[in-house]
Structure 1
Amino acid sequence: MPMTLEGSCQCGAITFSVQSQAPVPYQRCYCSICRKTAGTGGYAVNLSGMAATLHVHDPAHQKRIVHAVMGRRGRHVEHSSAERHFCGRCGTALWLYDAEWPDLVHPAAGAIDTELPEPPARVHIMLGSKAGWVQPDIRPGDGAFDGYPEQSLEEWHRAHGLWHA
């Protein structure tokens, strides 16, 4: 059975809930976008939720969306198709949604108030673009990738017996 994740921003203006079949915060992303929009330790931890179950309470309409800059060529700026949702009042990163995967939403683990399961191992991704000052805590059994791993969030959860069907 999917796990209900309850989340909020730091100032309390926005609360949300979403059902997750993959609620274990195992994946640390060191890319410059995650690091700059949500990562205080030089990485961000994202989860997976079922987009159709996302319920948002935002009575003061504080939620904002940003499309991250993917690259610049002269005056041309290329933006990501992904929508990064955050609180416009306090800046808390809330979740990411990308229409390329319409069934999924990716809550920022730091915005989740529900007690999350401890991962049996972690996967460090996008190490090829980590900041020079970051020293990843890669432990025995952890995965480490310069880019994206081939194994999806769902596949990782299933392989570890942690998929909540």
Structure 2
Amino acid sequence: MPMLLEGTCQCGAISFSVQSQAPVPYQLCYCSICRKTAGTGGYAINLSGMADTLKLHDPHHRKQMAHAVTGRHGGHVRHSAAERHFCGSCGTALWLYDARWPALLHPAAGVIDTPLPVPPSRVHIMLGSKADWVTPDIREGDEAFDGYPEQSLEEWHKTHGLWQA
């Protein structure tokens, strides 16, 4: 059965819930977008949620949305198709949604107030674009990738017997 994740922004203006079949915070992303929009230790941890189960608990919420810059060439700026939702009051990064995968929503693990399962190991991704000051804490059993791994969040959870069907 999917796990109910409940989250809030730092100031409390936004609270939400979403069901997740992949609730283990195992994947650390070091890309410049994640660390600049939601990173703490030079990385961000995103979970996977079922988009159609998202519930905002305050109808007068001050949620905002932005598309991250993915490149600059001359005077042209290229933006990601993904929507990064955040609190319009305190700026807390809340979740990412991408219409190319409409069934999924990716809440930032740091805003989830529900106790999350402890991962048996971690996967460090996008190490090729990490900040110079970051020294990843790669432990025995962890995997590390300069880019994206081939295994999806769903596949990782299923491989480790952690999928919440």
Q: TM-score, normalised on structure 2?
A: 0.98
Cross-structure match for 2:142: 142
User: Are positions 1:104 and 2:113 aligned together?
Assistant: no
8 Å contact 1:13–1:59 — kept in the other structure? no
Matched position secondary structure for 1:131: coil
Separation of aligned partners in 2, 1:13 and 1:113: 14
Q: CA deviation at 1:75?
A: 1.2
What's 1:83 paired with?
A: 83
CA RMSD across the alignment? 0.7
Structure 1 residue runs of 4+, over 4 Å off?
A: none
- CA–CA distance in structure 1, aligned partners of residues 154 and 118 of structure 2: 16
Question: Is 1:33 matched up with 2:33?
Answer: yes
Q: How does 1:67-78 map to 2 (within 5 A)?
A: 67-78=67-78
Per the normalisation by structure 1, the TM-score is 0.98
CA contact (8 A) 1:9 1:94 kept: yes
Rounded to whole Å, the distance in 2 between the matches of 1:35 and 1:43 is 5
Q: Distance in 1 between matches of 2:40 and 2:29?
A: 12
For 1:58 and 1:105, locate their aligned partners in 2 and report how far apart those are by CA, in whole Å.
19
Unaligned segments of structure 1, at least 5 residues: none
AA partner of residue 100 (structure 2): E
Q: Map Cα deviations across residues 18-71 of structure 1 (whole Å, 9 max, x no partner).
A: 000000000000000000000010000000000000111244331000100000
Q: What letter matches 2:42 in structure 1? A: G
| Equivalent in the alignment of 1:161 | 161
Aligned residue type for 1:116? L
Distance 1:132 1:64 in 2: 30
More displaced, 5-14 or 59-68?
59-68
Consecutive unaligned residues of structure 2, counting only runs of 5 or more, are: none
SS in 1 for 2:149: coil
